[in-house]
Structure 1
Amino acid sequence: MKYRKSDMNYIKKYLFLLSFIFSFYHSYTQNKEVVFSSELVGDDGVIGINELVKIKFTGNVDFEGISDLPFEDFKIISGPTPSTYTDKETGKRVKKESAGSLLKSYYYILMPERKGNLNIRAEQMEFKEKLYEAQPIDIKVTDSVEIVDYVTSGMITAQEEIQLTAEVIYNSTHKDSLNVVYKLFFPFSIGLQRFGFLKIPDYSKFNGVDVPISEYEPKNENHDGKNYRSIVLKSFVIPSSKNQEFEIEPLSIELFFEVPTFELDLNGSRIYESLYFHLDSIPK
Structure 2
Amino acid sequence: MAQVQFEARVSKNTLGVNERLRIDFMMNVDGDNFEQPSFDGFRIVAGPSQQISQSWVNGRSSFQKIYSYYLLPIQKGTFTIKQASIEYNGQVYKTSPVKITVTNAVAQERDPNSQQQHQHQGGGNEILNLVAEISKTNPYINQPITVVYKLYFYGINVTGFKELAKPKYKDFWNQNIDIKQLQIEEGMYKGEHCYFVVLKKTILYPQKSGNLTIEPLSLDIGIQVPRGRNMFGQIVFDDGNKTVSAGAKTINVRALPEANKPIGFTGAVGKFDFKVTPSKTTLKSGESLDLIVSAAGTGNMKLFTLPKPVVPNALEMYDPVHDEKVSTSLVGMSGKISDKYTIIPQFKGKYAIKPMEFSYFDLNSGSYKTITSPEIMIDVLDGPVQAETAASNTSKNVITKSEQFKYIKPKTVLISTAKDDFYGSDLYYGLLLFPFVILPIIIIAKKKKEAIDSDVTGNRIKMNNKLAKKYLSEAKKQLNNKEPFYIALEKAMHNFLKAKLHIETSEMSKDNIRELLSSRNANPETVQSFIHLTENCEFARYAPASSASIQQDYDKAVLIISELEKQIV
TM range (shorter): 0.3 to 0.5
TM-score after normalising by structure 1? 0.44
- Whichever of the two has the greater Rg, that structure is 2
Higher strand share goes to which structure? 1
Of structures 1 and 2, the one scoring higher in RCO (CA 8 A, sep 6+) is: 1
**TM-score between both structures, scaled by the size of structure 2:** 0.24
